Chain A
Amino acid sequence: DAGVIQSPRHEVTEMGQEVTLRCKPISGHNSLFWYRQTMMRGLELLIYFNNNVPIDDSGMPEDRFSAKMPNASFSTLKIQPSEPRDSAVYFCASRSDLGTPPSHFGDGTRLSIL
């Protein structure tokens, strides 16, 4: 299995620009998570999807952040407009709801907003 695939790996853009991060979960996994990692706060959950439906978006910091999961194999996290304080590493993770399996993480997108 290819694992969780995220793109791009790195993104550098100027303040005010729209940023779109992409994630392809592991086939067959029906739970998908977006996390953000910073030195100060560690890993924080942004949003959780189950069977393509957003279940908990309470971690999304502001209305500038939005996430979609149009089908079981693709999700996006969008920031518009971006701000320097959004600079962080964004991780996507997926998990099957069958049994008690571990969560699988992508390699992350390192986002820098100038």
Chain B
Amino acid sequence: KQEVTQIPAALSVPEGENLVLNCSFTDSAIYNLQWFRQDPGKGLTSLLLIQSSQREQTSGRLNASLDKSSGRSTLYIAASQPGDSATYLCAVLEDSGYALNFGKGTSLLVTP
């Protein structure tokens, strides 16, 4: 069974810092990997989707990388802002699957 792990579980940084969130998965036979943001009391907003054949995707200050063979992905946030405070979830879609397997998330707090 695919296991998705996110480290750290919580992170607090001062505004302006660059930061990296980590995601690892146990089965490398994935179709794609998706990073989501979840604000308190809200649903999940898709940030970036990386296909298994890709190495990275970028959107604004966000960059997600994928190393499928080692079962790792990172989400890099440049020049963090208080508005980036949220929980970030990593999810993988397996080659043989149809639903996403989620990590438990990293809760990020960016302080002014």
Which residue from B31, B46, B105 sits with its C-beta under 8 Å from A103? B46
B interface, CB within 8 angstroms of A: 31-32, 34, 36, 41-46, 49, 51, 89, 91, 98-100, 102-105
Once the chains are docked, how many angstroms separate the CA of A42 from the CA of B36?
14
Counting contact residues on chain A (CB < 8 A from B), the size range is: 20 to 34
Q: What are 10 pairs between A and B in contact, CB < 8 Å?
A: A42-B104, A48-B99, A55-B98, A91-B44, A100-B51, A102-B49, A104-B46, A105-B44, A106-B43, A108-B42
Is the pair A105, B102 in contact by a Cβ cutoff of 8 Å? no
Instruction: Count contacts between A and B, CB distance < 8 Å.
Output: 45
Q: A48-B99, A91-B43 are in contact. List 8 more A-B contacts (CB 8 A).
A: A43-B89, A50-B98, A56-B98, A56-B99, A100-B51, A101-B49, A105-B36, A108-B42
In the A-B complex, the 4 residue pairs with the smallest Cβ-Cβ separation, listed nearest first, are A43-B102, A105-B44, A42-B104, A107-B43
A9 (CB) vs chain B CBs: closest residue: B41
Give the chain A neighbours of B91 by CB distance below 8 A. Answer: 43
For residue A29, CB closer than 8 A to chain B, the reply is no
Q: Mark A32-54, 1 if CB is under 8 A from B, else 0.
A: 01000000001101001010000
Interface status of A82 (Cβ within 8 A of chain B): no
Q: Which residue of A lies closest to B32 (CB)?
A: A100
Q: Does A68 contact B (CB under 8 A)?
A: no
* Residues of chain B with a CB closer than 8 A to A55's CB: 98
